Structure 1
Amino acid sequence: MADLQDDLHSTAEVGGLDRPVALPATAPQRHAEEEPAVSPDVLERAHTLLAEHPVADGYTGLPWALRHLPWYDLELGESALDTDVPRLRAGHVGALFWSLHLPEGLAGDRAVGATLDQIDLVKTVVRAHPEGLRLAYSAGQITDARYCGRIAVLLGPAGAPALGDSLGILRALRGLGLRFLTLTGTSWASGTGLTRFGEEVVREMNRLGVLPDLSGASDATVRRAFAVSKAPVVFVRSAARSLRPHPANLPDDVLTELGAAHGLCLVPLTAEQTGPSVADVADHLDHVRALAGPECVGLSGTYDTGAAHPRGLADTSCYPRLVAELLDRGWPESDIALLTWGNVQRVLRNADFTARAAQSRREPSAAKISELDS
């Protein structure tokens, strides 16, 4: 276990999404100037809108970040982090997905154990902050937490190595609350796409209500997951590649296909993937909305991952500044309500509906990787 702890503390996050990527010299720099002042009226309008339609933030790195702190109090406030309860409330965050991603290269029993350790940590943190946080496992429970004045905490995404190539472990993780699984980093979801076992994993995810996360997945895996999954696919941390050539960002044809499949692209608030300013982030949101549709775009703060964030979006209190930018651009309030809250609710409800239908048709899969991919 000591060796495992060394791995957890010293290794970069899975998939390379947070590692610096050398961008071409022609990368867009249109908004490198200082951010313009926000109209107080527009900012007040943003706060009012978010009070009614809070943010469902698709990704936080808190489980990793908290491991490095000898002591913390998220209720009081924690200056060593980008996230705490006061800043979540200031940013009108109503739900937060806690990443269970593993260090790159961790696999097998060590990956399974590390994932269980993180789930235990998340649940311990929530129990220690009952006035601010509440675990939620469904769209309905997210809404219940909001009406009780709590911020809903959801588990996921986890990395595919967390399964240890076992569908039984997938079922166990779903029983513990997992909602997203990232299809990268395994032999059955690789650069060559999904193997037969990988396809069976996706079918079993559909049966359980675990949503496929395709951020950072190969083009072949993305295409096959679109074809196999009966539930929406989600890109938990992806923006528009035509605006910023990051490998985890999506080309326009995939964004268009995502809209046709009624999936969801959660745009990360990181300088590396979206650019150095609030306006750059808004450009990506405009682009995804135009190609995939307003029902298929959401937000992924990606705070506490070690990533740099655009000016004006330094921590989880800053969402009103981004919403004010969108209001200035003429976004209808109905589209912003989908962006912040409604679209995440939709894909969770759709996944649960798909799961109920699948459970009436098929038993839990007994497939083994040794039988399908030999």
Structure 2
Amino acid sequence: MADLQDELNATAEAGELDAPCAPVGAPSQGPDPQPALDLLAHHPVADGYCGLPGTLSRLPWYDLGPGEYAVQTDLPRLRRGRVGAQLWALHLLPERPVTSALEQIDLVKRVVHRYPEGLRLAGSASETADARAHGRIAVVIGPAPAAAAGDSLGTLRALHALGLRALTLSGARWAPHDTGLTPLGEEMVRELNRLGMLIDLTGTSAATAVRVIDISKAPVVLTRSGAAALNGHPDNASDELLTVLGANRGLCLVPCSAERTGPALRDLADHLDHVRRVAGPDAVGLSGTHDSGEPHPEGLGDATGYPALVTELLDRGWPESDIALLTWGNAQRVLRGTEFTARAARQRQEPPATRC
């Protein structure tokens, strides 16, 4: 816990996240954003889902450094939004899922290499914290759809070796919607634990989610799920699932998605309130879903909206300690818990045989 607290209290390099000052005598523009900016300077946003790799793969040219208007994610906007880490999701082509996964991983690495003053690749909680301490935005590769691994434990291990750190189980043949997990699916979950990869249950059935939570020794995540009690989107989580998730120290990353949480910033805040109340403050996080093709709530079309969202939560009476968990602490805890589980599993067992 001391290590985690140190990371929560760490700051970026001086000046990296400073906000521009308003002109003297400028008229008031609504609630004072400064408390939110001050809080985010110490506890930046760990964004649980960004679709930038898929968007960039379709562009003939881009430059994220000075600002790129063909995308919703670039370095200036990430800085203004006080983002400290992002999960960059992979977009797969159905006709060649494995090849496209490899191409997307290669793209992520090339983009990070191109902007070393702004981005740093991270594969662990310590690496995300180190990137933040040096004023960089940590990029974690994943989630990828389960089709990237197919039915092969060996392919899953190869993807992990290349840097993939999260897998979405929905749509996998070994995680059928009606019956939970096949025997191979149970092997896959145990291997994800052994490798130290995040298990994303977004879009899985209740039967699958409960079975995975029962088997997994590591905390699981929902990377793009609001509260089903407030919005009936099929990827949103029921109160029953949120209760189980909270009891098992998992994490629901509530998305900035007009379809999943509603068209207004206050709608997203309502979902955050609900998940926090049902699952607990240790089980709620944020997911931008930018560059994913989804419409966003007004004011949250890119990362620059996070300070306004935090201002709304402060106005609703959220204590700073809960917001620190929401923005950074919970994601860091889940990454660290996944790593601890992997170390313990590797000491106990050898990798299972490859399944083709």
Q: Fold-level match, TM-score > 0.5? A: yes
Deviation at 1:184? 1.6
Tell me the equivalent position of 2:241.
254
Tell me the equivalent position of 1:150.
136
2:212 to 225, 229, 241: 225
- The 2-side partners of 1:83 and 1:51 are apart by 19
Q: Tell me if 1:269 matches 2:261.
A: no
TM-score by length of 2: 0.90
Contact 1:303/1:315, CA 8 A, preserved across alignment: yes
Tell me the equivalent position of 1:239.
226
CA shift digits 1:177-196 (9 cap, x unpaired) = 22211002221112132100
**Aligned partner letter, 1:184:** S
Deviation at 1:368? 2.6
Deviation at 1:153? 0.6
Tell me the equivalent position of 2:107.
121
2:165 to 179, 193, 206: 179
Unaligned runs of 5+ in 2: 1-28
CA shift digits 1:9-41 (9 cap, x unpaired) = xxxxxxxxxxxxxxxxxxxxxxxxxxxx6312x
Within a 5 Å distance, the mapping from 1:89-238 to structure 2 comes to 89-103=79-93, 105-106=94-95, 110-192=96-178, 193-238=180-225
1:39 to 31, 40, 55: 31
Equivalent position SS for 1:123: helix
Within a 5 Å distance, the mapping from 1:73-92 to structure 2 comes to 73-92=63-82
- The 2-side partners of 1:306 and 1:174 are apart by 26
Contact 1:101/1:157, CA 8 A, preserved across alignment: no
**Aligned partner letter, 2:66:** L
Deviation at 1:324? 0.3
- The 1-side partners of 2:57 and 2:144 are apart by 17
What percent of counterpart residues are identical?
Answer: 62
Tell me the equivalent position of 1:314.
301
- The 2-side partners of 1:366 and 1:344 are apart by 31
- The 1-side partners of 2:150 and 2:259 are apart by 31
Tell me the equivalent position of 1:32.
none
- The 2-side partners of 1:117 and 1:190 are apart by 27
Contact 1:38/1:324, CA 8 A, preserved across alignment: no
CA shift digits 1:286-320 (9 cap, x unpaired) = 00000100010000000001111101111111100
Equivalent position SS for 1:273: coil
Unaligned runs of 5+ in 1: 1-36, 370-374
CA shift digits 1:109-153 (9 cap, x unpaired) = x21111000000000111111111110111111111111111111
**Aligned partner letter, 1:175:** A
Equivalent position SS for 1:172: helix
CA RMSD, 1 decimal: 1.1
**Aligned partner letter, 2:252:** C
Tell me the equivalent position of 2:53.
63
Equivalent position SS for 2:246: helix
Equivalent position SS for 2:143: strand
Tell me the equivalent position of 2:333.
346
2:289 to 289, 302, 307: 302
Deviation at 1:239? 0.5
**Aligned partner letter, 1:120:** D
